């Protein structure tokens, strides 16, 4: 009776149960080779899952019958290397995965056939110490970098001090961006406990960010659309449901990035109302942001907190000044704290302003209508339009690496 190929798990480290793991499949007809290759990768970082597949009779294709393809295949070919590699060459291009080939036979024909099958590298045996580990680690990090990149424009709005008006600005900024009809925009409320952005637009979402995060592994962009509340302007909103409470430690940064990547597939701009705190969730979002809109008011306590927060962004989170937009909300020209003093304290230019307009803002909040619909020609609406133009014309992202620095920040290093 023909034996079946079988799959057994060798190592399954995980930093968080909900985090997406990088999966490696080591396949060979030799059990000893599997053991040696597994040992060579024993120092791979947390977040990597290694499975081994011992091929005995059956198909030569090491990927045959797998329900889910690995992120990387390490295939140790044996005496039947030609048939084994040809089986991979026969696979459709869209069903291939990144692959490394290990072989005791280093003849040119085996190397050429490996490259034809899509191998990224070829390793003759015996392996040099650390060589395989170095290449696999590089491919793993390349994959993580690609996963963390968002193909959309991301704007974060954040209070320098509570009550500065970030939620109002985020809502009306997103509405301004969506109203011209040239781009699809999603407004994301990351206040997971007391988010209220849906009320700013008179929306009552039945499903929201909690359920989306819980099911993110099984969602595609079409299914995700069912979690977004729709405004008549075309703006979509992803916020917490009113009857649900979500704690920040229930959400992993990988879950959130996966959700953002899904949103990015069908939307050109994400506007995120971010809570005023520094943790793994907020810094994950800050790392991806094209701009961080920091809102404050003209007061000593606002200025003190803004100075501290902007210094943390620069020094500890490596966010450059050109990605930070400082907005003085409820601006009053007669205030004793002038824009020049704000700029001097924050060591930042320029300083944008949104004028005080209690009447129209109150009407907007009470009726759940954006300011553009309440008072299109009012100075506050014109100021928000200017902010939207500044954002659309703003500069892009710079280098990453922010999460690593966050750990030092939290630990006080």
Q: Are residues 213 and 337 in the same domain?
A: yes
Q: Which one has a higher pLDDT value, 216 or 271? A: 271
How many degrees, rounded to 5, is the angle at CA 62 between CA 45 and CA 87?
Answer: 135
The Cα–Cα gap between 49 and 18 comes to 14
How many whole angstroms from its chain centre is CA 69?
Answer: 22
Tell which of 118, 147, 176 closes a domain: 147
Q: 260 is written with which tokens?
A: 């953002």
Residue 1 lies in a domain: no
pTM of the model: 0.64
Backbone φ, ψ for residue 119 (5° rounding): -65, 140
Domain residues for the domain of 322 are 150-411
- Residue predicted with more confidence, 194 or 299: 299
Point out the domain boundary residue: 107, 132, 147. Answer: 147
List the one residue out of 229, 125, 133, 144 whose CA is nearest residue 187: 229
More confident residue, 245 or 337: 337
Mean pLDDT of the chain: 85
User: How would you label 170-196 residue by residue, b for 16+ Cβ within 10 Å and e otherwise?
Assistant: bbbbbbbbbbeeeebbbbbbbbbeebe
Quote the number of domains for the chain: 2
Task: State whether 291 and 327 are in the same domain.
Answer: yes
Domain end position, chosen among 147, 163, 191: 147
Average pLDDT over residues 315-321: 87
Q: Is 96 found in the same domain as 220?
A: no
pLDDT tens for residues 52-89?
999 887 778 899 888 889 999 999 998 889 999 999 99
User: Is the pLDDT confidence value at 398 over 60?
Assistant: no
- Residue 341 burial by Cβ neighbours in a 10 Å radius (0-12, 13-18, 19+): middle
Residue 322 has φ and ψ, to the nearest 5°, of -70, -10
Segment 135-148 shows an average pLDDT of: 78
Per-residue pLDDT for 2 more than 60? no
Q: With 0-12 CB in 10 A as exposed, 13-18 as middle and 19+ as buried, what is 322?
A: exposed
The CATH number covering residue 15 comes to: 3.40.50.2300
- Mean pLDDT, to the nearest integer, of 222-237? 92
22-28/48-54 β-pairing:
parallel
Q: 269 and 230 share a domain?
A: yes
Distance of CA 152 to the CA centre of its chain: 11
315 plus 200 within the same structural domain: yes
| Confidence bin at 206 (pLDDT 50/70/90) | confident
Confidence of residue 147 (pLDDT cuts 50, 70, 90): low
Question: What pLDDT score was predicted for residue 355?
Answer: 96
What is the rounded CA–CA span in Å between residue 225 and residue 212? 10
Q: How far apart are CA 288 and CA 179, in angstroms?
A: 24
């Amino acid at each position: 009776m023909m034996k079946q190929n079988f799959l057994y798990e060798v190592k399954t480290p995980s930093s968080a149960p909900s985090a997406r793991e990088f999966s490696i499949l080591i396949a060979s007809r030799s059990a000893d080779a599997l053991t040696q290759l597994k040992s060579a990768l024993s120092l791979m970082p947390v977040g990597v899952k290694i499975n081994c597949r011992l091929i005995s009779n059956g198909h030569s294709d090491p990927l045959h019958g797998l329900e889910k393809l690995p992120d990387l295949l390490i295939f140790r070919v044996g005496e039947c290397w030609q048939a084994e590699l040809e089986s991979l060459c026969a696979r459709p291009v869209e069903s291939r995965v990144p692959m490394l080939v290990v072989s005791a036979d280093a003849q040119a024909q085996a190397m050429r056939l490996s490259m034809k099958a899509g191998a990224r590298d070829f390793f003759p045996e015996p392996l040099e110490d650390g060589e395989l580990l170095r290449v696999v680690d590089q491919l793993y990090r390349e994959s993580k970098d690609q996963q963390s990149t968002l193909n959309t424009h991301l704007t974060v709005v954040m209070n320098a001090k509570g009550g500065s008006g970030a939620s109002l600005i985020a809502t009306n900024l997103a509405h301004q961006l969506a109203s011209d009809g040239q781009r699809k925009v999603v407004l994301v409320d990351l206040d997971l406990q007391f988010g209220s952005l849906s009320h700013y637009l008179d929306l009552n979402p039945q499903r929201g960010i909690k359920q989306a995060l819980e099911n993110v592994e099984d969602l595609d962009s079409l299914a995700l659309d069912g979690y977004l509340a729709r405004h008549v302007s075309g703006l979509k909103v992803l916020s917490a449901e009113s009857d649900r409470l979500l704690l920040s430690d229930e959400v992993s940064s990988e879950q959130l990035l996966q959700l953002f990547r899904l949103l990015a597939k069908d939307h050109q701009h994400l506007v995120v109302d971010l809570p005023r705190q520094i943790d793994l969730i907020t810094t994950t979002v800050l790392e991806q942001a094209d701009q961080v809109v920091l809102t404050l008011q003209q007061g000593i306590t606002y200025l003190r907190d803004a100075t501290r927060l902007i210094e943390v962004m620069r020094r500890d989170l490596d966010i450059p000044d050109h990605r930070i937009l400082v907005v003085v909300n409820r601006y009053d020209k007669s205030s004793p704290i002038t824009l020049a003093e704000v700029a001097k304290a924050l060591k930042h230019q320029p300083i944008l302003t949104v004028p005080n307009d209690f009447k129209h803002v109150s009407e907007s909040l009470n009726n759940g209508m954006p300011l553009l619909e309440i008072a299109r020609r009012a100075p506050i609406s014109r100021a928000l339009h200017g902010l939207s133009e500044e954002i659309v014309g703003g500069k892009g992202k710079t280098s990453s690496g922010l999460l690593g620095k966050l750990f030092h920040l939290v630990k006080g290093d």
